[in-house]
A and B are shown apart, each in its own frame.
Chain A
Amino acid sequence: MRATLAQDALAVVVMFVIASLGGFLLVRHRQTSQAQHPKVMLDEMRVHVRTGDVLILDARDRSAYAAGHIPTALSFPLAEWKLRAAELNVTLRQHRDRLVVVYCGDSWCGQSEELQLALIDLGHTRVGHFAAGFSAWRDAGLLVALSP
């Protein structure tokens, strides 16, 4: 008897359930120690920018960066991190004694968290995350740098 559409659909559902469970296990296995790396609050960020004692990476795309970014931040779009990994490593080696802080648009964008994980995967030990993001910096009325 030929399989019905329902039987086909059931087989496909089973496949996706297996993939979901496998994905969950993979993520658990891969979980990096993101929790050990500092979360940077807005006030701390102001001090860091004033003193220049950290390397700041902006994980948003280039157009967002050009429209306005935290002063002294370097543009490092998440979409490009893998292609520019070698360049990133060189930059980070030059600043190896400094804390690296990554940020993106706001606390929901996810790009900075992912860039933070990527840097940790590359072996960098001091990577902070400014979770509130550029929107919090701008909304606090702080100085915003523009790109030419």
Chain B
Amino acid sequence: MKSPFDWIARLLRIGIGGIFLYAAFAKLNEARAFTASVVMLQVVPFRWAEWLAAMISLAELLAGAWLIVGWRLRASALAAMLLAAAFAFASGQAMIRELEFNCHCFGITAQPPPAGLVLVRALLLLGLATLLRWLANNIPAAGSQAAARSGAREVERSP
């Protein structure tokens, strides 16, 4: 019988994975707008911005799918943490530098969210991904099927 932590991990896995997938499709659908956001951040030369925007979109797509599939959850949670941390860094430095930053993180909106809200969202996602990785580390069944099977074999071998 699954523990509450298993269910929490499952919920987080599917929820965070779904968020990443939604964001990835929104960015790929409005690729020019998201590239403009990366240009506005002024963290890379212009020639790199288009590649970076495409890379981030695809990384979100892969991470989202990976989380939902549930294979090697510790690793996929780590990928989610890194992506969320990158967004937190980007929005944080845009706030500090007072850049006019329009994230387009979830597509085009009539009223772009302020950089502070983008930062809070990214930090929340980072926190949830960190919690998921912790659960995957400490709850064998939540971590991976292989670990769960390994745990079961240990139980069978013990007297």
Residue ranges of A at the interface with B (Cβ–Cβ < 8 Å):
1-3, 7-9, 11-12, 15-16, 18-20, 22-24, 26-27, 30, 61-62, 77-83, 108-111, 113-115, 117-118, 121
Contact = CB atoms under 8 A, between A and B. Distances in A.
B50 interface: yes
B32 A79 contact: no
Contacts of A15: 59, 62-63, 66, 79
Contact of A19 (B55, B74, B143): B55
A114 B49 contact: yes
Chief secondary structure at chain A's binding surface: helix
Contacts of B57: 23
Nearest to B81: A12
B54 interface: yes
10 contacts: A18-B62, A20-B51, A24-B55, A82-B32, A82-B108, A110-B39, A110-B46, A111-B39, A114-B35, A115-B36
Q: Which of B32, B40, B102, B147 has the most CB of A within 10 A?
A: B32
A82 B39 CA distance: 14
B150 A2 contact: yes
Contacts of B82: 12
